[in-house]
Structure 1
Amino acid sequence: MASKEDKQRKKGILQGFKSQEQEAKIAQMPVSKTDLRDLFDHLDLALQEKGCDNSLTLTDAFLEERHLPVDQTKAWLAQYGGYCDCEVLANVEDEFSKVI
């Protein structure tokens, strides 16, 4: 049976790996944390009003309005399950809400 110290050491190592993984995800983001947070806020309001049309129409408009890299950002969002506006809000926000 592992001692309490061994369990704490293993827990610390695991937390270190998770932290490194989160830092790597953040480093790969094509937009700033602020822009991503603002995108989530924008989608939250817009989707309540308009609903999702199974496209990235609202995301495209937001990115274009802010002069952000549209194609690169959409490809990045897709890596985390953001294939339409509501999926960006549901999947990507869930993945990144703790780090932004």
Structure 2
Amino acid sequence: MNDKQIEKQRKRELKQQWQEEQQRLFEESLPMERAFFTQLFDALDEQLEICGCDHTSSKTVEILNRIDIKNIEGVVVWLREHGGYCDCEVLWNVEEYFE
């Protein structure tokens, strides 16, 4: 390998390390288990197809209560920090973090 190839390989390795660190930090920041997010997204999708979004987090809170989440306020704050300011935005903005 020449110097240019070595540098390119090193940049790829650094990028991979950074991505892994970002993923680790994201997972550590989750206010509830990942499986509960899947339940939330699926239930929200069903509810929004039926009722539409009233631009509040009311359906999100209702679903979190139904799946027996204890720190609902913490989850709602976390969702807002990740772009989920209302029920439809939870699906549009937050769900993509889990794909």
Same fold per superposition (TM over 0.5) = yes
Show the counterpart of 2:34: 33
* Unmatched 5+ stretches in structure 2: none
Q: What fraction of aligned residue pairs are identical, expressed as a percent?
A: 33
Matches within 5 A, 1:1-100: 3-68=4-69, 69-94=71-96, 96-98=97-99
Give how far 1:61 is off.
0.6
1:20 and 1:43 mapped to 2: Cα distance?
A: 30
Which ranges of 4 or more aligned residues in structure 1 deviate by more than 4 Å? none
Number of residue pairs matched by the alignment: 96
Mean Cα deviation higher: 13-22 or 84-93: 13-22
RMSD between superposed Cα atoms in Å: 1.2
Give how far 1:91 is off.
0.4
Helix, strand or coil at the partner of 2:36:
helix
1:37 and 1:8 mapped to 2: Cα distance?
A: 36
TM-score under structure 2 normalisation? Answer: 0.90
Give how far 1:33 is off.
0.7
1:23 and 1:42 mapped to 2: Cα distance?
A: 26
Which structure has the bigger radius of gyration?
A: 2
1:76 and 1:97 mapped to 2: Cα distance?
A: 14
TM-score under structure 1 normalisation? Answer: 0.89
Helix, strand or coil at the partner of 1:26:
helix
